[in-house]
A and B are shown apart, each in its own frame.
Chain A
Amino acid sequence: MKWGILIGLWLALLVYFVWECFQFLPRGEKKELWVFGGWLFLVGILISVNIHSSAADPRFAELFLRLFY
């Protein structure tokens, strides 16, 4: 079930990226497209981590404190 949601998420992000390509490229905004694509990729990873974690899994704060303290 979760893998289905993750695949759907990345497909949706890909469709969104392609749509934005049609907004940026006609204006010649290649640098803006790179920044957008990079940020979209990082957001995709963040959402994937959120979806994959269950309520009992440690979050960023707990993981950070376990690693360093």
Chain B
Amino acid sequence: MSNKSSELSSHALSAREAVAVVMILTFALDIRVLPLFATQPAGHAGWLAVLLQFGYMLFFFHIFYKFLISFSGQNFAQIAKTIWGRTLGFFVVFSYILWLLLILSFNINMFGARLSHSQYPGQNKAMLIAIFVVFAVIVVRSGIVPIARMTRLCFFMLVTIFIILIVLWLPSFRWENFMPVTYLDLPNAGLSSLKVLYTGAFSVLILVLSDKIASLKNIRRIGFKSITLLSGLKVCVVLAAIGILGPQLISRIPFTLNTMINSIAFSSSLERIDSFLGVLFTVAEFMFIAIVSFCFLHLIRSLFGLDRMAPYLILLALSLFFGGNYIGNTFFALHELEEAFIYPLSLVMGFVIPLLLYVTGKIRRVVQ
């Protein structure tokens, strides 16, 4: 019995680890896009958008929880095939594989762009992408459990650092930047809340990892608490961005948080805090790439019923490197691609399709 439980613990995620994995996916993207997406088109009422998306996230996490308990120990391919049949289920899961490949290529390029913009100016972006890819594949090879344990530590550090940052940003606030907020701002805040929801679309990957979760005990409570904590932090970050930079300037700066961090000059010992924070942001982005890469491989494995994934790691590395290089040259084009295509596609994959699966599952009485 003790051997079996130790096997499970080394090859399966606990509820906290599964939730931490999902939260870091959201947070890693928020580092790059949150202030920008929250203020378009809500402007100075962008923090209201984050409050609205908090409600959506609770609702959708509840739906994911229902899938987890109804299909305990089954992977996402089995869930889709059970609810929608073998053929449609196959195409749905295949579309998720293509979506994840697009997301990986896009985000690897954007992370390389952020590094070459902030910490390594003039550095060849392709080399930064190559380093990211090599380390991601090495980490993916070890499995999801070590990744999840690293993620828990990273998530805790990120939350702590952001709380400290918010306190350090307070002297730089200009309160007139986000006042007044009236009922007239609500429609724009509603539109912005859909944009902010984009980063939460990756919480659907908890269904991809559903067969890797050992125990679902308290996962809903842990998930709700984590979403509440993260949303509170996001409201504070957006308030800080609007308070320090103002909504007009946010739309003109590619990496808002980097600029905000440079505004901190509390004492001479904290003036170079941007270097340390840059490392932390890079770790979060790296965890995003590693987790999504694992989910990508896991989806392929579950869709085609494969046993070994080791032979496919080289193909994964080549796909990520050349996909990341080919997806775009200029930051402007990538930003437009994200606004025009990736963001609506992610909303569909992350929320619309799971909602349709849930409704169909309820009608067919296979979902609790």
Contacts and interface: CB of A to CB of B under 8 A. Distances in A.
Interface of A: 20, 23-24, 29, 31-32, 35-36, 39-40, 42-43, 46-47, 49-50, 53, 55, 58-62, 64-65, 68-69
A36 B328 contact: no
A22 to B, nearest CB: 12
Given A47-B318, A59-B333, A64 B326 contact: no
Given A46-B326, A53-B326, A31 B304 contact: yes
A62 B318 contact: no
Interface in B320-368: 322-323, 325-330, 333-334, 336-337, 340-341
B300 A62 contact: no
A69 B330 CA distance: 17
28 contacts: A31-B306, A32-B308, A32-B311, A36-B312, A36-B315, A39-B312, A39-B315, A40-B315, A43-B322, A46-B322, A47-B322, A49-B326, A50-B322, A50-B326, A53-B326, A58-B329, A59-B329, A59-B333, A60-B328, A61-B327, A61-B329, A61-B333, A62-B329, A64-B337, A64-B341, A65-B340, A68-B340, A68-B341
B48 to A, nearest CB: 29
B334 A32 contact: no
A39 B309 CA distance: 13
Contacts of B333: 59, 61-62, 65
Contacts, number: 73
Interface of B: 300, 304-308, 311-312, 315, 318-319, 322-323, 325-330, 333-334, 336-337, 340-341
B322 A62 contact: no
